[in-house]
Amino acid sequence: MFSQEGLRTLNSPTGFRHFNLSEITRAINDGAGCPSCFLIARSIEEKMDAKWPGDTSLTFRNRQAVDKAGNVVCPPFHVLEGFFTPDVDNIVMRVFPYAKKDDPMARLIPRRPFKRDVKTQKVLSKAKQHYEGCKRAHRACKFARDTVLPSRVLDVGTSANPSLRLFINDAEQHGEYLALSYCWGGDQKVLLRRRTLTEMSTQDGIQEDTLQQSVRDAVKVTRMLGFRYLWVDAFCIIQDCKKDQQKEIGRMATIYKNAAITIAAGTAQRAKDGFLKQAGAYLPDERVVVNGATGKGTVYLRSGPYEPKHTLDKRGWVLQEYMLSSRLLIFSEYELLWQCKELELQSVVGGDEALEYLQPLEGLPWTSFKEDNAGLYGHDDGEKLYLWKTVVEQYTRRLLTNADDRLDALRGITRELEVLWEDSNYFGLWEKWFVELLAWYKPKGAGTKEEESQRSDRAPSWSWASLSRQVMYTERFIKKDAKVKGWDTLGTRSPRHVLLHCRMLNADDVGQDEIDEDGDFISGGCDEFPDLHEEAFRDEVKERETQVLFLGVVMRNFRELGIGLVVIHVGNGFYQRVGLAQFEDIIAWEGVEHQEIKLK
């Protein structure tokens, strides 16, 4: 396609005929296809509404333009549009070619390696326009119940008269403020402590040159955007006061919801790195070497949206900051990005050169935080349950500097939903769907980084928060077999536990492998998913007998599959979870009586 003849054909009325489905598949399988073949095949496969019709050929042509006189002209190769012959008006994919400045192909391909400065006043003024337009017109983004400032914010002064101090909002003063979402990445040089509270709140009480670079960058951006107040956790929560930490963490939902904009330090791995410096320029991974008239050149090809690679997206605390913020200004790898509840992730500057972006998190149906719109969090229990399972699965893939923050880093979301859903959350599980939410498990083959070597006592064994890494959920239950009879979540007189009305069997009795007359495997017995890795699991179980506690039934591949907890008796009438069980032989449970089990 990028030979001299191919380029001429791309500008012809008929376009360049590429392979049909069987030809492109054969070329890829034989190793004869060029990188553009792989790009095309992957793009068509991922585009759900573009099914390859039969063996129709895929044709490409250069996007044409019309001059002032109305004549069709062929510009440089900026965008190549693909369609299935002869349906020329139905574009199924677009390919964006790039060439480096000094490459022989640069005279034909105008798109260059891409990078835009994120810290100029021009770019930030454009971001302020996005904010003003959003504030004026986006109904779904008006989350703030009021404009009262948080209990503490940084007062950054103005660009003309910069100053920096901690403002303590004793009188519930109103005002607009920004919030910073960033990675600490280790100990901070300067923090708010009990002994520094008074000093930091005096005029010019904080020396800007003592701050970590990401905080300094956020102060600079706040001034350039024309705001005076900035909320940063390291300076607005007393870091050596547990009581203040708990109080302010409980307010984080309100803090991020009510912020005019959340500044997301997307690329900074640590607070000392800063986020206003950009490393390199964007070039697609797919490349084609071309023998041109003036020498050998290289064309880089992109099709479809680009998913940013933000260190921030791997951090546990950031998930709730992302979900609770009404507006995000993201300092990304190659340009400044904007996202709000009515606009998906996009370039602040825009234009033909801008990348199309894929949001790094799965879209969730959260469009309002007002109590009278609680239904927008899910119109029925199925949507709400799916939403929460998705939150947990995404959250547990993320990293926490302190593993004991496992529940705290999600508390802003849970407290908000407790009000909206009129429900209670116990260690990450909702009362309304408690039995089904017990059915989390450690995915097999997730890699050594996801292996668990010990269980924490920060939560009962039945909570995913008792582990420190990724968990997954089963499909939705079609039948429940267990019921909750009560909770003791305080653990004052007895261990924290839930009282279940359920059936229980010895693990060895839960289904048997079925083999047909030819010796082929038909169906399995009990497939166990231990919470801890091999040796740690053996140490947890010791010599004790494992039981399976029947939770309910899911439908998988048109067959019913039983789901249960693998538990052990730990004394004094209490049981402890050690894993999840899946079994096909539900008949084995016939005749087994329900009993009350205390699960700690």
Percentage above 90 pLDDT, the chain: 50
d(CA 539, CA 516): 37
Between 331 and 376, residue with greater pLDDT: 331
pLDDT at 209: 92
Residue 429: what residue type? L
pLDDT at 46: 63
State pTM to two decimals: 0.81
Between 180 and 487, residue with greater pLDDT: 180
Structure tokens at 465: 């928060």
- Beta carbons of 337 and 358 less than 8 angstroms apart: no
Q: Tell me the average pLDDT of the chain.
A: 86
d(CA 271, CA 141): 29
Between 11 and 157, residue with greater pLDDT: 157
Stretch 338-353: mean pLDDT: 89
d(CA 516, CA 457): 46
Local structure of residue 259 (DSSP, 8 states) = -
Structure tokens at 446: 């997730």
Between 175 and 52, residue with greater pLDDT: 175
Structure tokens at 247: 């109080």
- Beta carbons of 431 and 355 less than 8 angstroms apart: no
pLDDT at 112: 92
Cα–chain center distance at 401: 18
Stretch 580-598: mean pLDDT: 93
Reduced to 3 states, what is the DSSP secondary structure of residue 16? strand
Asked if pLDDT for residue 75 goes beyond 90, the answer is no
CA-based radius of gyration for the chain: 29
Residue 187: what residue type? D
d(CA 301, CA 548): 53
pLDDT in tens, 169-220: 999 899 999 999 999 887 888 999 999 999 999 999 999 999 999 999 999 9
Lowest average pLDDT, out of 125-129, 391-395, 442-446, 583-587, goes to 442-446
Q: What band does 369 get if pLDDT is binned at 50, 70 and 90?
A: very low
d(CA 291, CA 440): 55
Q: Which residues are within 8 A (CB) of 238 and not within 5 positions of it... i.e. 6 or more apart?
A: 192, 193, 194, 197, 244, 245
Asked if pLDDT for residue 475 goes beyond 90, the answer is yes
- Beta carbons of 589 and 550 less than 8 angstroms apart: yes
pLDDT in tens, 265-315: 998 999 999 999 887 899 988 888 887 666 788 989 988 888 888 888 888
Burial class (CB in 10 A: 0-12, 13-18, 19+), 575: buried
pLDDT at 370: 46
